[in-house]
Amino acid sequence: MSFSVPPWRATASASNPTPAAYPPSATPAYIPVQARRSLAHNKPTLPATNGADMTPADAAPPRVQFPPAVRSYVQRCFAPENQMASVSTAEMQEKLRFVITDAAENHKLDIIDWERLALPQVMVQNERNKILANPNVSNWGISTPSSPADPSRKRKSTDIHQEGTGSPPWRKANNNTRNRFEDRITHPSTEKRPRMTTDDSSKSKANLEMRKKRFEGAGASYGNSASASPVPSPARSPPADQGPVIGRCQTLEKNYFRLTSAPNPDTVRPLSVLQKTLDLLKKKWKKEGNYGYICDQFKSLRQDLTVQHIRNEFTVIVYEIHARIALEKGDLGEYNQCQTQLRVLYKQQLGGHPTEFKAYRILYFIYTRNWTAMNDALADVTADDRQDLAVKHALDVRSALALGNYHRFFQLYLDTPNMGAYLMDMFVDRERLTALAAICRAYKPDVNIRFITEELGFESDEQTARFVIENSSAELLEEKTGSVRLLTGKAGPLFEQAKAAAHAVVDIKGQI
Amino acid sequence: MSTLAAEFKSAYGAGSGDGLAAVFTPIATQNKPYRLQSFYDFTNAASLQKDLSFALFHGKSLKVPRAEQTAWVDIFAAYWEAVGEVLKCEQGRRDASLVAVFIAWKKVANALIRGYSSSSGIPAWTLPCLYTVGKYLRTFAIKADIEAAAQGTSGFGFQDDVAADIEKNANLEEAARIINRMFTLCLSDRAPIEESRKWGIYNTTNLIFKTYFKINSVGLTKNLLRAIKAQSADLPPLEAFPKSHIVTFEYYVGVIHFLDENYAEAEQHLATAWNMCYRGASRNKELILTYLIPCHLVTTHTLPSDQLLASFPRLEKLFRPLSNCIRKGDLVGFDKAMSAGEEEFVKRRIYLPLERGRDIALRNLFRKVFIAGGVEEPKEGQPPVRRTRIPVVEFAAALRIGTHATNRTRVDIDEVECLISNLIYKGLMKGYIARERGMVVLSKNNTAFPGTGV
């Protein structure tokens, strides 16, 4: 059986120098006992010479009197006829120590039927069998070598223990309990807590490992890198804020997957690859126009830039292109994300098209009617920006709407630079209703529909008529002397209602 | 130390919250320039607790429950460390750091919060300490942010996107969270109202408002207002609170509504603040007026009087040119004044409501057209009536006043109609447009321009 140490296993052993030395055990409660034993201050309390010539029978210390049943149990453990070839003395002692400590701590010394209790070596053997029969029971079982197969490694660390103490296991266990008892008297809180925490942390660490393992499986399926199985690599999970990741993935396309842990360099594309990716995506977008695919790809592209801390003109271009595509498809949620990022990127003077996007930003806040943000956006506009056609246009649009100057607004609408028209399309109908509400109040007794078509930027009288009918009723249109006229008096209240409905709060959280 | 301990003892003995708060003011005062230094020098880290409890509570003069004593000693211990950091900065030492000051002061705040919330039970009359500590927490956080920005730090974390705007206010946001805890501490106290910390609610709220405005997250203030509203049944009436708390609170609530363009509500709160404001607090009055004047312009179409502006030079500079143009109906001048003041207006977030003043300027201009139109031939036995049917071109001519002929040779008649229709829609003008005849028909009997006498 070859055992490669998986990464989660490797980290576990790093924190605990001698894991392989302990017999496999499915009970996590075993760990704290080991931890206890390694605490340095316990050792000096035990004179080395003391244990050497002691026999099990008289080893019970004066303070804690073990019942005779326990003593005979221990004696039986060490009896030569009970030794098993497959279980070493060290392992047996470990187990024994555990059994007695456990019993003493839980005040079960008098409850347990020591006559019938299985000897520690038998317990060890049983546990081993169980794990062999069903390897999934325990993580430990898989990676720990079965003890007889690898005696040298295990021997080493156990020998050290033996040398250091030289006392029989129960003697030590006894010492432990006694020390703990004394400790409790002097420092009640400090004694209890470390035990609890070690126990907790080992348990939660185990949980964490399990979770990580699960995610690695998922990662292999979404990432298209070479790592199909969780290959151990110590560099794979650097701590969160230890500088940028350096990617080594060479595949152009990658699905977006939200990060839940530090990124794996194997699935991150370096800048040179990302540049090719962008070219590919641009071509694909032109050819196929599949927004779902493009958006996903751009998100992963942005993610790779972020995790590698790449902030340069390329970053700006990526965000700009994604923002424009999102605009074109009316995906304002995604657009807004890009816009927020772009605002910060532009502040760092990395190039790109700041004025174009400042203009979009103003139009966007007109649409969402977020006046607090609009105030901020206006504060961002500098005197130089004002000279820019797009910015000037957006500012004029804003001011025209603020003053209710629909005439000017629709002139501006028909002459929008860049991709601003996509944004203006979002709120143009809303403003048409506002304008109609005003027109109906001001003009009496009726107006030619031709006037509305021209004034409110409709393409044809038919479109105007359809808009009127959709938002109010057909009875408001009347044919008179060869032209269709809107009966303003009756229409007023209806458009007023439609306007109020259209101006209800805009929710842009939904994304495509 | 002896000074600070004596201050503490006398303030505590007298039950003076403000006196107690003065002890925790981490600056040297004029008459006691070495109060911090001597406090810091009086002990060292090793014997801090012991010295403090001796200095503060030894002797029979002060009767303080044991648990509360411990809490005060903890607070003073944190205060002592913070003072150490403050002194380092004042002395310009190389290891001085404003971030360290903030971190140390955070501990003071936390110790104080613990003192109030745990069973050690610091009484509610000492709340001014909380205000002072909170106030300096905010100040130190701002300074720490400036220092951190100058040193340039960058943290990334697991974000999908590159930019994190939050970084530059990291300390202040931390401060906001702690002040928020102070707020909760006050709001959730269930002790009988005479000795409840509920009295601290508006002061702490104001402090968070201030912080949220600074970090540009005005939206978060809504949560606080909601929390207060939910508790309102258990709160004493607003008038029962100290005026200083209420004025600030009403001011902020007004500004919050103002930013949301709820001018009517904003005006209500701002007016309350204005009426209650201490008359000597000219800076505060100026702040209130900065928002109240634009509010008033939008809701009632009235302008500030010269007399009012005269006593606030800064506001006069801000509003006088604009209000003169509005009064005269000078559109060109109005546009000029708007763009001249734009930067300042935008910075103070009053550009949008002021812009609406253009409607009033327009109304005043068209009103002049109406008056200049004169009266009709009086019919026999009838008093003369104003001419109420006015050609649109006359309004167009008025709009051309002050514009250069080359600049705008022709005013678009459609646009003029649009402007008129807007005034009619907004109720600033009464009448209708007869488009085919190119006429505006205004209402008779001195109601054509409501509220202006004609």
Q: A429-502 belongs to which CATH class?
A: mainly alpha
Where does the pLDDT of residue A114 fall: very low under 50, low under 70, confident under 90, or very high at 90 and above? confident
| Torsional sign, CA A447, A449, A451, A453 | positive
Task: Specify the long-range contacts of residues A202-206, CB closer than 8 Å, at least 24 apart.
Answer: A202/A28, A202/A31, A202/A32, A203/A28, A205/A12, A206/A28, A206/A139
Distance CA A49, CA B44 (A): 47
Question: Which residue of B154, B161, B169 to mutate against A (max A Cβ within 10 Å)?
Answer: B161
Residue B408: predicted pLDDT: 53
Distances (CA, A) of B412 to A411, A447, B329, B408: 12, 18, 19, 9
Distances (CA, A) of B255 to A393, B266, B298: 29, 6, 15
How many angstroms away from the CA of A85 is the closest CA of chain B? 53
pLDDT average, residue stretch B60-83: 84
Asked whether the predicted pLDDT for residue B267 surpasses 90, the reply is yes
The answer to whether B425 faces chain A, any CB pair under 8 Å, is yes
**Contact assignment for A443 to B419 by CB distance below 8 Å:** no
ipTM for the whole complex = 0.76
pLDDT average, residue stretch A325-348: 87
Phi, psi of A43 (to 5 degrees): -70, -45
The answer to whether A505 faces chain B, any CB pair under 8 Å, is no
Residue A24: predicted pLDDT: 46
| A&B contacts, CB < 8 Å | 119
Asked whether the predicted pLDDT for residue A208 surpasses 70, the reply is no
* Better pLDDT: B376 or A486: A486
Nearest CB to A399: which of B347, B355, B433? B355
Sheet holding A446-448, edge to edge: A446-448, A483-487, A477-480
Where does the pLDDT of residue B158 fall: very low under 50, low under 70, confident under 90, or very high at 90 and above? very low
Helix (H, G, I), strand (E, B) or coil at B428: coil
**Contact assignment for B165 to A258 by CB distance below 8 Å:** no
Q: Which residues contact B266 (CB under 8 A, 6 or more apart)?
A: B254, B255, B256, B257, B258, B291, B295
The answer to whether B420 faces chain A, any CB pair under 8 Å, is yes
The answer to whether A133 faces chain B, any CB pair under 8 Å, is no
Residue B141: predicted pLDDT: 92
State whether CATH 1.25.40.990 applies to domain A265-428: yes
The answer to whether B213 faces chain A, any CB pair under 8 Å, is no
Residue B268: predicted pLDDT: 93
* Better pLDDT: B402 or B99: B99
The 8-class DSSP code of residue A343 comes to: H
Question: Which residues in chain B are contacts of A263 at CB distance < 8 A?
Answer: 158
Question: Which residues in chain A are contacts of B159 at CB distance < 8 A?
Answer: 306
The answer to whether A207 faces chain B, any CB pair under 8 Å, is no
Nearest CB to A439: which of B347, B421, B426? B421
How many angstroms away from the CA of B92 is the closest CA of chain A? 32
Distances (CA, A) of A467 to A408, A435, A449, A457, B359: 20, 13, 11, 12, 29
Nearest chain B residue to A244 by CA: give it.
Answer: B156
Taking all residues of chain A, what is their mean pLDDT, rounded to a whole number?
Answer: 70
**Contact assignment for B419 to A260 by CB distance below 8 Å:** no
Q: Is there a contact between B398 and B366 (Cβ–Cβ < 8 Å)? A: yes
**Contact assignment for A443 to B432 by CB distance below 8 Å:** yes
Residue with tokens 């430990």: A140
Distance CA B254, CA B256 (A): 5
What are the structure tokens assigned to B291, written together? 């928002």
Residue A11: predicted pLDDT: 44
Where does the pLDDT of residue B289 fall: very low under 50, low under 70, confident under 90, or very high at 90 and above? very high
- Tell me how far apart the 2 most distant CA atoms of chain B are, in Å: 106
Flag the least confident range among A220-224, A433-437, B156-160: A220-224
In degrees, rounded to 5, the angle at the alpha carbon of residue A440 between the alpha carbons of residues A437 and A445 is 175
Nearest CB to B418: which of A337, A343, A406? A406
**Contact assignment for B160 to A299 by CB distance below 8 Å:** yes
Task: Specify the long-range contacts of residues B150-156, CB closer than 8 Å, at least 24 apart.
Answer: B155/A241, B156/A241, B156/A244, B156/A306, B156/A307, B156/A309
Q: Is there a contact between A487 and A439 (Cβ–Cβ < 8 Å)? A: no
DSSP B278-326: -TT-HHHHHHHHHHHHHHHHHHH-----HHHHHT-HHHHHHHHHHHHHH
**Contact assignment for B162 to A375 by CB distance below 8 Å:** no
Instruction: Compute the CA torsion angle B105, B106, B109, B114 (nearest 10 deg).
Output: -130
How many angstroms away from the CA of A436 is the closest CA of chain B? 10
- Comparing C-alpha atoms, which of B318, B324, B306, B358 is closest to residue B342? B318
The answer to whether B152 faces chain A, any CB pair under 8 Å, is no
Domain ranges of chain A: 7-210, 265-428, 429-502
Report the CATH number of the B366-442 domain.
1.10.10.10
The answer to whether A384 faces chain B, any CB pair under 8 Å, is no
pTM assigned to the model: 0.67
Residue A129: predicted pLDDT: 67
The 8-class DSSP code of residue B333 comes to: H
What are the structure tokens assigned to A504, written together? 């209800």
**Contact assignment for B419 to A299 by CB distance below 8 Å:** no
* Residue B434 β-bridge partners: B439
Residue A471: predicted pLDDT: 83
Asked whether the predicted pLDDT for residue B220 surpasses 80, the reply is yes
Residue B228: predicted pLDDT: 87
The answer to whether B155 faces chain A, any CB pair under 8 Å, is yes
The answer to whether A439 faces chain B, any CB pair under 8 Å, is yes
Q: Which residues of B184-195 are buried (b: 16+ CB within 10 A; e: fewer)?
A: ebbbebeeeeee
